[in-house]
Amino acid sequence: MAVAANDVVKMINGVCHDFKSILSSPDRDFLVRNNADQVNIDSLKGKTLGLYFSASWCDPCLEFIPDLIEAYSRLAPEGGFEVILVSTDDDEESFNDYFSKLPWLAIPFSDSISRKRVHESFRMMGIPRLVLLDENGKVLTNEGVEMIKEYGEEGYPFTSKRIQELRDLEEKARKEQSLKTILVSRYRDFVVTSDGNKVPVSELEGKTVGLYFMMPSFHPYAHYTQKLAEVYKKLKEKGENFEVVVISLEDGEEPFKTIFGAPWLALPFKDKSCKKLARYFELSIFPTVVIIGPDGKTLHPNAADAIDDHGVEAYPFTPEKFAELEEIVKAKEAAQTLESILISGDLDYVIGKDGAKVKVIDLVGKIVLLYFSAHWCPPCRAFTPKLVEVYKKLKANGKAFEVIFITSDIDQTSFEEYYSGMPWLALPFDDARTSSLKRKFKVQGIPTLIAIGPTGKTVTKEASGLIMAHGVDAYPFTEERVKEIEARYEEMTKGWPKKLKHELHELELTRCDSYMCDRCNDPGQVWTFYCRECDFDLHPKCALEKDKETKGGAEKEGNTKEGWVCDGEVCTRA
């Protein structure tokens, strides 16, 4: 009988085990350290144990090791905690190399029978896995990896009571938030400067503090860090009571050191609080700058965009200031023109297929699509042919319309290769306007297609979806046009049944961007008569014609989706 993974956890948790019987063998009553010292299993009595199922070839295991070592190094000297490696390596050389870096005990690699028995006893289905047992051998949890990641050594002795205490403390800290509850941990009451000096968190109290969550290896951080550093410098020059504390979520220390060259503060590299704070503030996008007010309360969950768009004008990040900024943005949008979007200093042109410069002013009055895309992006390469088709049709119809390709390619060659298949205009590769346009339109992913109307106002940021759904009919991409299309689609269905009994299928009238008709094998779009049970589609024309043919007749064989059997009442898998 198959057992679900969560059922296995329930079966394992709470079960009691005798240390000696599960860890020893008839010929062995000891465990080993990486220096070959033998430790008698009886010495583990009274301790909380962690059985660590792991292997040298497992990347998630290697990523978890630093967290477990940190917790172990704090708990083991106190005498109440021990970890035992239960290896799943295939050869002794790999085991020895891996074990040489670990400070805890292990079942000898040579005792494969005992290792297999322990695996089977705890029903291991994946690694890394850390099973925590109390001093009586009772399983506290089968999810020690997650517990160590979230609570570290503070979770000790890892009982349900202790975990509830920590959750209660977190809830209390959230209600009574202060700079100390955010930045001070059990072992640290300071932040550090770029040269390693310690600054007590108490010295930051009463100031506005920006918590800058960052992953330096993520390319856009280079630009954003420079922008934030400029804002920080200007605010300090004006004498404002403002500090930035970097919270790095990066695994590599070198990128952290590079970005941390800015004149602000940070939590120490790989400090346990970094990931804890990421969970506390429920991070979902990067970069994030959480603003903590002088009273220690959260002023704003993420001021990163405001700082990027408005610089020092975003300070002091209060609700009143953000309301003021919103009005400024509305005014700018109302005054937006194609020239204000695409002209920057001497850069007043785009390029054509022959490399010739086309003045931006010559595009004024047209509908312009800004196409953010890249050769390395599979969804972009899939969408580009559709856009080419629409572009050619609109140009052939004499529409005042243009597309401008804005590349995210990493080199000139890739840009030129990709652009060679496009019939429209482009910004030159590595053009300074590219980054500012991505920031202006908050481009988080590609492909992105922004429609700019004849007056220079933004019509929609979702033009790619409109083209995929409606093709050339989406022009001019306005909300009014979309409503017209939707009204036309609804008009098409007048007189059509919502459901249709068709030979071997229960069909339901359904909206669908595209499909293949299972009767005539031609592509269809907008409406299909669809059998949800077996993914069977019919064009409305095919479905309604067939319905007329078969009304009053007996059920027939045919048109059954491969792998399914339909008896006229229900479709089931063959």
Q: Per residue in 533-567, pLDDT tens?
A: 888 999 898 888 765 555 544 444 444 455 555 54
The H or E element containing residue 502 is strand 499-502
Token pair listed for 184: 């001070």
With H, G, I as helix, E, B as strand and everything else as coil, classify residue 134.
coil
- For residue 157 the two structure tokens come to 């002795």
- 70 closest CA partner among 207, 224, 275: 275
Low-confidence ranges of the chain (pLDDT < 50): 1-13, 552-560, 567-570, 573-574
**Integer Cα distance of 191 and 210 in angstroms:** 13
Q: How far is the C-alpha of 536 from the C-alpha of 173, rounded, in Å?
A: 55
Characterize 173-206 residue by residue with b for buried, 16 or more Cβ atoms within 10 angstroms of its Cβ, and e for exposed: eeeebebebbbbeeebebbbeeeeeeeebeebee
User: CB under 8 Å to 236, separation ≥6 — which residues?
Assistant: 242, 263
Q: Which residues contact 386 (CB under 8 A, 6 or more apart)?
A: 467, 468, 471
pLDDT at 522: 87
Cα 443 to Cα 435: distance, rounded to the nearest angstrom: 10
Give the percent of the chain with pLDDT over 90: 62
| Backbone phi, psi, residue 132, to 5° | -105, 130
For 249, half-sphere exposure in the C-beta direction (CA atoms, 13 angstrom radius) is 18
Q: How far apart are CA 112 and CA 87, in angstroms?
A: 9
Q: For helices 272-280 and 144-151, what crossing angle results, to 10°?
A: 90
CA atoms within 13 A on the CB side of 370: 26
User: 49: buried, middle or exposed (CB in 10 Å: 19+, 13-18, 0-12)?
Assistant: buried
In this structure, the number of other CB atoms found within 10 A of the CB of residue 441 comes to 16
pTM exceeds 0.85, yes or no: no
344: nearest Cα among 434, 257, 425, 265 = 434
Q: Is residue 38 within 8 Å of 30, Cβ to Cβ? A: yes
Check residue 447 and report its DSSP letter: S
pLDDT 10s digits, 149-176 = 888 899 999 999 999 999 898 888 889 9
- Cβ within 8 Å of residue 448, ≥6 positions away: 371, 372, 373, 441, 461, 464
pLDDT at 15: 65
Conformational region of residue 148, where left means phi above 0, alpha means psi within -120 to 50, and beta covers everything else: alpha
The tokens for 451 are: 């429609």
Look-up of token digits 């079966």 = 11
Dist. CA 243–CA 225, nearest whole Å: 14
**Residue 6, pLDDT score:** 41
The strand order across the sheet containing 458-460 reads 357-359, 349-351, 425-426, 401-407, 367-373, 448-452, 458-460
Please, which residues have CB within 8 angstroms of residue 99's CB and are 6 or more apart in sequence? Answer: 34, 85, 87, 106, 109
Q: Which pLDDT tens digit goes with each residue over 443-489?
A: 888 999 999 999 999 999 999 989 988 899 999 999 999 899 889 88
| Helices 59-75 & 144-151 angle (0-180, nearest 10) | 60
DSSP state of 142: S
pLDDT value for 233: 93
Q: What is the pLDDT of residue 12?
A: 45
- Residue 254 has a pLDDT of 61
- Residue 259 confidence (pLDDT): 57
Report the alpha-carbon distance of residue 65 to residue 571 in Å, rounded: 50
The 8-class DSSP code of residue 523 comes to: E
With both helix axes pointing from N to C terminus, report the angle between 378-396 and 463-470 in degrees, rounded to the nearest 10: 70
**What is the structure's pLDDT at 263?**
76
In whole angstroms, what is the distance from residue 102 CA to residue 54 CA?
Answer: 12
Residue by residue, DSSP assigns 302-355 as --HHHHHHHGGGGTT--HHHHHHHHHHHHHHHHT--HHHHH-BTTB-EEE-TTS
Looking up tokens 């090791």 gives: 65
